[in-house]
Chain A
């Protein structure tokens, strides 16, 4: 089955770090870029960033709201994408989704999401 499963969410204090994982199955992970999105409680969708496939250099792009604090990486041997979140703020509280990115700009495969709550 083609799917993405996020993990690693939880409750964390402001200023702390957290790493999310996105485990892929059912497709050739290394052929795709991987993107992260988030959705604050009761709010709309926000793009967080993405990492290109190795074929396209494995480079990354980030939203201004997380640039310098969040880092996306990938381990193609394990079919996992990571979102390292540092210096977390209360406004980072959201459900975080990973998506398969066929370099098209739109997203046909989403994980179920993992909730990150930043609170003291």
Chain B
């Protein structure tokens, strides 16, 4: 099974900051990686798929990059509504696997 290591597990940032979250797969997964945002008590929301394709309706301050084993989610200018937990997910093979999550908190 493919394992996903996500870092950091949490970070503190201020509105307007640039934030970067990384995921590393235990083996190459091409570009079969998605990113989700989850707020407390809510279901995850798809942000990015195919490593870098923005889901319809997601603000352009979110971007994804990477292929193979190393991936990055960047929020270019953090907004108040972006404080949440972010997960990456590989879909190269089953079982599907998620990173452990990154909680983005207000500094």
Binding site for B on A (CB under 8 A): 44-47, 61, 63-64, 97, 104-108, 110-113
Main DSSP-derived SS at the B contact region: loop
Main DSSP-derived SS at the A contact region: loop
Contact B95 A107 (CB under 8 A): no
Q: Which of B46, B87, B95, B96 contacts A44 (CB 8 A)?
A: B87
Give the one of B32, B43, B98, B100 with max A CB within 10 A: B43
Binding site for A on B (CB under 8 A): 1, 32, 34, 36, 38, 42-46, 49, 55, 87, 89, 91-92, 94-101
Count: A-B pairs, CB below 8 Å? 47
Q: Chain B residues with Cβ under 8 A from A113's Cβ?
A: 43
Residue pairs across A and B with Cβ atoms less than 8 A apart, 23 shown, are A44-B87, A45-B36, A45-B38, A45-B87, A45-B101, A46-B98, A47-B95, A47-B98, A61-B94, A64-B1, A64-B95, A97-B43, A97-B44, A104-B49, A104-B91, A105-B32, A105-B92, A106-B49, A107-B46, A108-B46, A108-B55, A110-B43, A110-B44
Contact B91 A105 (CB under 8 A): yes
Name the 10 nearest CB pairs between A and B, nearest first: A105-B91, A110-B43, A106-B34, A47-B96, A106-B49, A45-B98, A108-B46, A44-B101, A63-B95, A44-B100
